Amino acid sequence: MNKYYLIIVVIFMAISCGETKKSEIISLFNGENLDGWIIYGTEKWYVEDNELVCESGPDKQYGYLGTEKNFDDFILSLQFKQENNGNSGVFFRTTVDGTKVEGWQVEVAPPGLHSGGIYESYGRGWLIKPDSSKDSIVKMGEWNDMKIKVIGNDVTTWINNTEMIKIKDSIIGKGIGGVALQIHDGGGIKVRWKNLKIQKL
């Protein structure tokens, strides 16, 4: 009887630990500073009013803010508000060398410019764009909700509770790296971010 009891306890503990790990949610931004992040490039990344801000600098080049940690399978949720232009993005399974990035970008751009689509920098380019019927989902000058789900080869994105794209790609499935926010080149860009939370799966 004791032997069977111990087996049941061990199985229960294993299941419980698995559920705890699956539901673990990490806040990527503490609202105070850039702890846990690395700045790439010369564009501006700073904290203001408990919000993370990216803004074009004098060089008007690409810039990235990447996590120190890698994330494989996850659900990432965040909010963004485009104050100026807004051409930015959220990269996943990504590495950055200088300002050259390898990985996949979930587009963040003004209405009608494919926000929520997947772009592969220095590679295949656009992998998938949202249907044109979703062009007005992003609201300029307002807070927008974004969710990105990455499991193996599968990626799904949502903006303001609307599914934007779903894609299965074996090359994405082999990717290794962290999460990174982008500021596009060209200057004149300012985007605010908050509530960046990741659930590891």
Mean pLDDT by 10 residues, the chain (201 residues): 46 43 84 98 97 96 97 98 92 96 96 97 96 96 98 98 98 98 95 97 93
Task: Report the helix count and the strand count for the chain, using DSSP H and E.
Answer: 2, 15
- Report the C-alpha gap between 68 and 164 in whole angstroms: 28
pTM for this one? Answer: 0.88
* H or E, element range at 90: strand 88-97
- Burial level of 5, CB count in 10 A (0-12/13-18/19+)? exposed
Look at residue 55 in the predicted model and tell me its pLDDT.
96
Environment class of 79 (CB within 10 Å of its CB; exposed 0-12, middle 13-18, buried 19+): middle
> Mind giving me the DSSP string for 43-75?
SEEEEETTEEEEE--TT---EEEEEEEE-SSEE
Write down the pLDDT at residue 20: 43
Q: Which two tokens stand for residue 157?
A: 């994105």
Type of residue found at 143: W
Residue 22: per-residue pLDDT: 56
Tokens for 97? 């060398």
Domains of the chain: 26-200 (2.60.120.560)
pLDDT the model gives residue 18: 45
**pLDDT on residue 85:** 86
Contact 30, 159 (CB under 8 A): no
CA distance 80 to 128: 21
